[in-house]
């Protein structure tokens, strides 16, 4: 799937994460992470982000993350939202059925 | 979650704020309502859907009855709200501004289709209907029995008052008839009756007065919009020690009467009739649900 436009999801409130997703032509995934817990959870946050991109088959993207201590499920929710906005798609909720079966 | 789960308090939590959603897990409300409707801006509905879905699937609050309030039946958001909300597997969907039984049946059919597609046992998702207009209140009896999924109804006082052209007051006389229509319909259908929000979160005394009326009328619980209202509402809908003792006395007397084949049973000078027995059983059931030891009287 291709990112069509820059999109933002999330806020800078505590326990949230603000994600900006931008198009990037054939240069792979680049993640810029700003987080107070980067030393401890940076790799885990990046893993969740990459996993969300992979679920939508996104190969090229610039992802800017401003994390305020978001839980994994919040990061996933914000990523799903940012991707749908950036790709201008409506989420196919039946995808969750397949994941829940696993 | 059991159908008999306590429903004294249901706390609305906006679906836009992760911190509020996380905090709500630690309060004492019996029911938590993740809100996709009024608490979420039209431009943020998509984000709230994802957030609520992930929160309920991954961090479901233990020992709480979980609801998701979707947007109105005639809104542009309802179809996708249901897709996300049913798949999140809450105990119930809270449906705002219900006015007709056919609306409930329409939503029931949509939920059934999603449950089937998602591999969720059919009929598992319960429904709470918010009655927020004179038409809804007039049709409350039909709405309450429109689907076996409907397990509770609640009066939405602000919208109800606005559509009646009335002024909202602390005494609440402008919603008295609406309250009674909802309550009566719930009792006829055998479902939980939930009272309207008391909006002034800084007026504990006013809330106490409101609760006296609500509990006296026979409601089972109340919706709250702020955590500071929870303990007061829980206390109001939990039977007192005196009420529990009286109820146990009634049940003991009835048991004794049955053993001795006594036709008439008397407690404290009053004859125990069927309504007294029902009231005693209700009090003991409420006490038991609140974790209070009541003995074996409910068997």
CATH number at residue B14: 3.20.20.60
Is residue B298 in a domain?
A: no
Distance, in Å, from the CA atom of B32 to the CA atom of B227, rounded to the nearest integer, reads: 11
Tell me the average pLDDT across B162-190: 94
State the pLDDT at residue A27: 83
Q: Is residue B168 domain-shared with residue B262, that is, in the same domain?
A: no
- Chain A residues in contact with B44 (beta carbon < 8 A): none
Last residue within a domain, chosen from B236, B258, B277: B236
On whether the CB atoms of residues B237 and B194 are closer than 8 A, the answer is no
Give me chain B's average pLDDT, please: 92
Q: Per-residue confidence at B298, pLDDT binned at 50, 70, 90?
A: low
Which tokens in the block code for residue B272? 């125990």
Residue A6: alpha-carbon gap to chain centroid: 13
pTM attached to this predicted model: 0.90
- Check B50 against A96: CB less than 8 A apart: no
Is B47 near chain A, with CB under 8 Å? Answer: yes
Q: What interhelical angle do B204-217 and B176-189 show, nearest 10? A: 40
Same structural domain for residues B157 and B252? Answer: no
B260 plus B119 within the same structural domain: no
Bigger pLDDT: B281 vs A16: A16
Does the pLDDT at position A87 exceed 90? yes
In whole angstroms, what separates CA B72 from the centre of its chain?
18
Q: Are residues B187 and B250 in the same domain?
A: no
What pLDDT, in 10s, does the model give residues A4-18?
999 999 999 999 999
The residue whose two tokens read 């809804």 is B136
- Say if residue B39's pLDDT is above 50: yes
Least confident residue range of A57-61, B158-162, B265-269: B265-269
pLDDT at B222: 96
Q: What are the tens digits of pLDDT across the range B47-76? A: 999 999 999 999 998 889 999 999 999 999
Domain that holds residue B63: 9-236
Residue B107's alpha-carbon distances to A40, B9, B126, in angstroms, are: 45, 25, 11
Last residue of a domain, one of B236, B257, B278: B236
Identify the domain boundary among B201, B221, B236. Answer: B236
CATH number of A7-89: 3.30.230.10
Domain ranges of chain A: 7-89
Q: Which residues contact B61 (CB under 8 A, 6 or more apart)?
A: B24, B25, B32
Q: Is B38 among the domain residues?
A: yes
Is B73 in the same domain as B172? yes
At A76, list the tokens: 């996933």
* B121 CB within 8 Å of a chain A CB: no
pLDDT over 70 percentage in chain B? 97
Q: Is B43 on the interface with A (CB under 8 A)?
A: no
Which among A13, A76, A100 is the nearest to B54, CB-wise?
A: A76
Residue A89: band (very low, low, confident or very high) from pLDDT cuts 50, 70, 90: very high
Asked if B19 lies within 8 A of A71 by C-beta distance, the reply is no
B295 in any annotated domain: no
- Please report the pLDDT score of residue B2 as a whole number: 42
User: Does the distance separating the beta carbons of A13 and B22 come in below 8 Å?
Assistant: no
* Helical spans, DSSP H, in chain B: 18-23, 45-58, 78-87, 101-118, 134-138, 140-144, 157-164, 176-189, 204-217, 230-236, 241-259, 274-289
- Whether the predicted pLDDT of B256 surpasses 90: no
**Which span out of B113-122, B259-268, B284-293 was modeled with the highest average pLDDT?**
B113-122
Residue B262 lies in a domain: yes
Residue B255 token pair: 């048991």
Measured CA to CA, the distance from residue A68 to residue A75 in angstroms comes to 10
Contact (CB<8Å) A15/B50: no
| pLDDT reported for residue A102 | 59
**Do B49 and B117 have their domain in common?**
yes
Same domain for B148 and B180?
yes
Neighboring chain B residues of A14 at a CB cutoff of 8 Å: 19
Residues B172 and B278 in one domain: no
Q: Which of B14, B17, B41, B51 to mutate to test the interface with A (most CBs of A within 10 A)?
A: B51
- Verify that B191 and B270 share a domain, yes or no: no
Residue B297 domain-assigned (yes or no): no
pLDDT tens, A22-71? 999 878 999 999 999 999 999 999 999 999 999 999 999 999 999 999 99
Q: What is the pLDDT of residues B17-28, one digit of tens each?
A: 999 999 999 999
Give yes or no for a contact between A31 and A88, defined as CB atoms under 8 angstroms apart.
no
CB contact under 8 Å between B47 and A9, yes or no, is: yes
Residue B3 has pLDDT above 50, yes or no: no
Same domain membership, residue B232 and residue B247: no
Report the number of distinct structural domains present in chain B: 2
Residue B150 domain flag: yes
Torsion of CA A60, A65, A69, A72, to 10 degrees: -10
What confidence score (pLDDT) does residue B4 get? 54
Same-domain check for residues B24 and B89: yes
Note the pLDDT of residue B297.
Answer: 58
> Residue B4 domain-assigned?
no
B283 and B247 in one domain? yes
């Amino acid at each position: 799937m291709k990112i069509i436009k820059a999109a933002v999801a999330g806020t800078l409130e505590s326990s949230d994460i603000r994600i900006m997703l931008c198009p990037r032509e054939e240069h792979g995934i680049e993640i810029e992470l700003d987080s107070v817990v980067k030393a401890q959870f940076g790799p885990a946050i990046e893993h969740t982000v990459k996993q969300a991109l992979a679920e939508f088959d996104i190969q090229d993207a610039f992802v800017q993350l401003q994390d305020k201590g978001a839980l994994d499920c919040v990061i996933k929710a914000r990523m799903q939202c940012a991707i749908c906005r950036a790709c201008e798609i409506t989420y196919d909720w039946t995808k969750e059925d397949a994941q829940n079966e696993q | 979650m059991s159908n008999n789960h306590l429903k004294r308090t249901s706390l609305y939590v906006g679906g836009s704020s992760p911190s509020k959603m996380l905090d709500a897990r630690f309060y004492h409300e019996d029911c938590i309502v993740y809100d996709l409707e009024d608490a979420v801006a039209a431009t943020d509905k998509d984000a709230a859907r994802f957030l609520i879905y992930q929160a309920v699937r991954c961090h479901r609050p233990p020992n709480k009855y979980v609801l998701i309030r979707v947007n109105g039946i005639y809104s542009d958001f309802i179809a996708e709200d249901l897709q996300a909300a049913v798949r999140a597997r809450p105990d119930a969907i809270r449906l705002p501004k219900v006015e007709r039984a056919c609306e409930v049946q329409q939503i029931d059919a949509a939920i059934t289709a999603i449950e089937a597609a998602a591999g969720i046992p059919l009929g598992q998702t319960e429904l709470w209907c918010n009655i927020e207009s004179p038409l809804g209140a007039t049709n409350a009896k039909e709405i309450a029995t429109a689907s076996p999924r409907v397990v509770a109804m609640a009066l939405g006082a602000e919208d109800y008052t606005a559509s009646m052209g009335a002024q909202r007051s602390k005494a609440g006389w402008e919603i008295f008839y609406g309250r009674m229509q909802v309550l009566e319909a719930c009792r006829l259908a055998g479902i939980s009756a939930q009272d309207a929000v008391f909006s002034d979160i800084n007026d504990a005394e006013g809330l106490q007065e409101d609760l006296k009326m609500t509990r006296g009328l026979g409601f089972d619980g109340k919706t709250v919009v702020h955590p500071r209202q929870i303990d007061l509402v829980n206390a109001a809908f939990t039977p007192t020690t005196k009420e529990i003792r009286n109820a146990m006395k009634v049940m003991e007397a009835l048991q004794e009467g049955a053993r001795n084949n006594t036709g008439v049973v008397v407690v404290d000078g009053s004859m125990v009739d069927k309504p007294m027995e029902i009231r005693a059983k209700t009090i003991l059931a409420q006490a038991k649900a609140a974790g209070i030891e009541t003995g074996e009287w409910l068997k």
